[in-house]
Amino acid sequence: MDDLLIRMMRWGRQGYSCSQILLLLGLEACGQTNDDLVRSMAGLAYGCGAGRATCGALTGGCCLLAFMARDDLPELVAMGRRAGFDFIQINSNGLRLAREPGYARVLKAAGVASIFLQFDGVDDAAYRALRGRALWSDKQAAVAACARAGLGVVLVPTLVPGRNSHAAGDILRMALKWYPTVRGVHFQPVSYFGRHPGPPGDHDRITLPDLMRDIEIQTGGLFRADHFRPPGCEHSFCSFHAQYLLSSDGRPRPLHPGPVTWRSQAPIRAEEGAARAIDSVARQWAAPPAGQCDALTHACGCGESSHTGRGEALLSLDDFLATAHARTFSVSAMAFQDVWNLDLERVQQCCIHIMTVDRRLVPFCLYNVTAVDGRALYRT
């Protein structure tokens, strides 16, 4: 019998209900005491009411979750900036940004540089299919709030076959419409974590080659498969990316036009790869200084230019240096692994890690992978 169970039994003998015991554990974990709150939780002791005695574990648990919910994100961001983290990005579904006036400005003032925004489509059908409710108006409002606050936004679609896999082109066109607030699109083909009724079939997957082909077809060649490059940090089969300069008419022009041979890249130290990735993300995904894009509206089309064999103009060096930050746009994707398609070679070459409480570095995909019954296998 462990110490936790002994303490729970002791509180039970003292007359505390299940709901009160849950709150006592939460207060203890936070290093707090609150006798009045514990006493008031006795009113929830009849929450489930099954068996000889009633139990408030369900309703008490809901109250505990509300009690422990944090509302100090701006303070945490400011703490990170003081600690020396120059680029802080927030993963968000955008709901609070959309619905709470001024919250985007609060995050910007605290030191947030970019919002990694869940974005599954450009109509409510995609959100009803993937998120269970209509969210399209919230997504638009979230981007508008970030624009007013001067926050860069990256749209992050989860693509699911038969649900929204047809929407990659529409998402990219909307991203271009919202430039320069939206700095790029980062696609994430669906992976299968948590409880799942059985192994997914090939028809349940979208591979990176599938996605590159779909992007080219759905955009009518505006973004082409041969624009995309393998990563310089993680394994070559884990992701792809391309960077573009936007001309004065808003048309993307690839910084690296022409085909590339996909092959395993020469390995580099994980520290070096991570540093390169962070530097690239910080430069690309943060919003440019206010007014810089307006000043450079016509720069993309001026000066002498050379051409590739497929009719794409390359900017002169002066133009490139003038517009490199203000008018760049990125398209990328990452294929996360799950328990059914885990590739040990890819895991061993991973340069994106999560630090556990016991100071171990766990590759990102392994940290999130779950067993068939939903159990996390590598989280501590």
Over residues 52-78, the pLDDT tens digits come to 454 566 767 777 777 777 788 999 999
Q: 161 preceded by cis ω (within 30°)? A: no
Banded model confidence at residue 243, pLDDT cuts 50, 70, 90: very high
Q: How many CA atoms lie within 13 A of 123 on its CB side?
A: 7
Task: With respect to residue 364, please indicate whether it lies within any of the assigned structural domains.
Answer: no
- If asked whether residues 187 and 321 sit together in one domain, one would say yes
Token reading at 242: 């391309």
Amino acid letter, residue 33: T
> Domain range holding 28?
3-68
Cβ(206)–Cβ(165) below 8 Å? yes
Q: Which residues pair with residue 155 across a beta bridge?
A: 117, 185
Please provide the DSSP assignment of 162-207 as one string.
TTTGGGHHHHHHHHHHTTTTEEEEEEEE----S--SSPPPGGG---
pLDDT of residue 307: 41
Dist. CA 210–CA 207, nearest whole Å:
5
- The more confident residue out of 64 and 187 is 187
In b/e form, how buried is each residue of 22-52, taking b as 16+ CB within 10 angstroms? Answer: bbbebbeeeeeeeeebbeebeebbebbeeee
pLDDT of residue 7: 81
pLDDT of residue 286: 73
Task: With respect to residue 380, please indicate whether it lies within any of the assigned structural domains.
Answer: no
Q: For residue 295, with 0-12 CB atoms within 10 Å meaning exposed, 13-18 middle and 19 or more buried, which class applies? A: exposed
Q: Which of 38-42, 205-209, 308-312 has the highest mean pLDDT?
A: 205-209
Mean pLDDT of 231-241: 88
Q: At residue 309, does pLDDT exceed 50?
A: no
pLDDT of residue 49: 43
- If asked whether residues 135 and 211 sit together in one domain, one would say yes
- Give 252-303 pLDDT, tens digit per residue: 999 876 666 555 456 566 666 666 666 666 666 677 666 555 444 433 333 3
pLDDT of residue 359: 83
- If asked whether residues 37 and 82 sit together in one domain, one would say no
Task: With respect to residue 368, please indicate whether it lies within any of the assigned structural domains.
Answer: no
- If asked whether residues 22 and 80 sit together in one domain, one would say no
pLDDT of residue 40: 79
Give whole-number Cα distances, 157 to 120, 141, 236, in Å: 4, 17, 21
The 8-class DSSP code of residue 300 comes to G
Mean pLDDT of 7-27: 84
Banded model confidence at residue 319, pLDDT cuts 50, 70, 90: low
Structural domains of the chain, count? 2
Please provide the DSSP assignment of 33-68 as one string.
--HHHHHHGGGGTTSS--SSS---HHHHHHHHHHHH
Cβ(350)–Cβ(363) below 8 Å? yes
Task: With respect to residue 166, please indicate whether it lies within any of the assigned structural domains.
Answer: yes
Final residue of a domain: which of 50, 68, 86?
A: 68
Token reading at 270: 């994980």
Token reading at 226: 């041969």
Cβ(186)–Cβ(154) below 8 Å? yes
- If asked whether residues 294 and 235 sit together in one domain, one would say yes
- If asked whether residues 87 and 232 sit together in one domain, one would say yes
Give whole-number Cα distances, 14 to 11, 18, 35, 43, 60, in Å: 5, 12, 14, 17, 18
Cβ(339)–Cβ(368) below 8 Å? no
Task: With respect to residue 128, please indicate whether it lies within any of the assigned structural domains.
Answer: yes
Q: For residue 309, with 0-12 CB atoms within 10 Å meaning exposed, 13-18 middle and 19 or more buried, which class applies? A: exposed
Mean pLDDT of 224-253: 90
pLDDT of residue 355: 82
- If asked whether residues 172 and 230 sit together in one domain, one would say yes
Final residue of a domain: which of 49, 68, 87?
A: 68
- If asked whether residues 170 and 51 sit together in one domain, one would say no
- The more confident residue out of 155 and 55 is 155
- The more confident residue out of 35 and 244 is 244
Task: With respect to residue 13, please indicate whether it lies within any of the assigned structural domains.
Answer: yes
Residue with tokens 């299940």: 18
- If asked whether residues 37 and 155 sit together in one domain, one would say no
- If asked whether residues 192 and 156 sit together in one domain, one would say yes
- Ordered alpha helix ranges (H), the chain: 3-13, 18-29, 35-40, 57-68, 73-82, 95-99, 103-110, 124-131, 136-149, 168-177, 208-218, 270-285, 292-295, 317-323, 344-348, 364-368
pLDDT of residue 248: 81
Final residue of a domain: which of 68, 101, 124?
A: 68
pLDDT of residue 20: 84
Counting residues of the chain whose pLDDT is more than 70, the rounded percentage is 77
Amino acid letter, residue 348: Q
pLDDT of residue 291: 52
- The more confident residue out of 300 and 378 is 378
Q: At residue 229, does pLDDT exceed 50?
A: yes
Nearest by Cα to 323 from 378, 242, 255: 255
- Give 122-148 pLDDT, tens digit per residue: 999 999 999 999 999 999 999 999 999
Dist. CA 26–CA 235, nearest whole Å:
41
pLDDT of residue 206: 97
Dist. CA 206–CA 218, nearest whole Å:
15
- If asked whether residues 209 and 277 sit together in one domain, one would say yes
- The more confident residue out of 227 and 31 is 227
Q: At residue 28, does pLDDT exceed 80?
A: yes
pLDDT of residue 297: 41
Dist. CA 256–CA 244, nearest whole Å:
8
Q: How many CA atoms lie within 13 A of 240 on its CB side?
A: 23
pLDDT of residue 32: 80
- If asked whether residues 178 and 298 sit together in one domain, one would say yes
- CATH classification of the domain holding 226: 3.80.30.10
Dist. CA 93–CA 79, nearest whole Å:
23
Task: With respect to residue 167, please indicate whether it lies within any of the assigned structural domains.
Answer: yes
